[in-house]
Amino acid sequence: MDKHGFLYVSDYTKNEVRRWKMGEYNNEGIVVAGGNGKANELNQLNHPTFIFVDEEQSVYVSDRDNHRVMKWRKDAKEGTIVAGGNGFGENLNQLCSPKGIIVDYLGDIYVVDCWNHRVMRWYEGKEEGEVVVGGNGEGNKPNQLDCPYVLSPKPPSSISSKLQADFDSLTIPSLTKTENTTCSSCLSSTNQGRLNHQQLKRIQLLHV
């Protein structure tokens, strides 16, 4: 959720990211990225997964099957490629099934490059990234990763909350700042105060 009270949902079946104002649960929300079918044009996404929203309400999207990270500025009609976008591969200008992303206060973009078993840092505007963790093949050695998935934007003690969407049952467990795998409370499609789940298909991630 951003500082303006908006909740962002990555819907990988509809190939879009949609935004809701908290408290307004009966509307359809607003598409803020994608929503123009599944393909690789700048106004399209192909299986979006993880998202990050910055202070200016720009939405960064891990565009998984396009092997790129897209940045959609507020009210933009299309995004810009800020990482990858050169097909799947292991070169420094490529990604292979990107997952978790965070952007620091300098604007540096950190991407979990899942099938390359590494975490990369991309400076916006640069054509190549750099490996900051892993990148030495799949494994359990100290210099290796095995299909990494998620990045945490802050130390656990300072994270206010996390939401992880169960995309099979449309159940959303809310995780507190001290929990990693246990559910402290759940909002399901049968609970009061829910998003209109008819507008969502197979949710994978919420950004808070």
- pLDDT in the model for residue 92: 98
pLDDT (average), residues 111-119: 96
pLDDT (average), residues 112-123: 96
Domain 6-134 adopts which CATH fold?
A: Neuraminidase (2.120.10)
Closest CA to 72 of 85, 64, 62, 86: 62
pLDDT (average), residues 18-26: 82
Local structure of 18: helix, strand or coil: strand
Instruction: Using pLDDT thresholds of 50, 70 and 90, give the confidence band for residue 25.
Output: low
* Cα separation, 14 vs 118, whole angstroms: 28
Are 16 and 45 in contact, with CB atoms under 8 Å apart? yes
- pLDDT in the model for residue 153: 64
Domain boundaries, the chain: 6-134
Instruction: Using pLDDT thresholds of 50, 70 and 90, give the confidence band for residue 197.
Output: very low
- pLDDT in the model for residue 178: 34
pLDDT (average), residues 42-56: 96
Question: Across all residues in the chain, what is the average pLDDT?
Answer: 79
Tell me which of 73-77, 150-154, 155-159, 204-208 is least confident: 155-159
Tell me which of 8-12, 46-50, 198-202 is least confident: 198-202
Closest CA to 113 of 86, 146, 143: 146
Are 144 and 135 in contact, with CB atoms under 8 Å apart? no
In one-letter notation, the amino acid at residue 2 is D
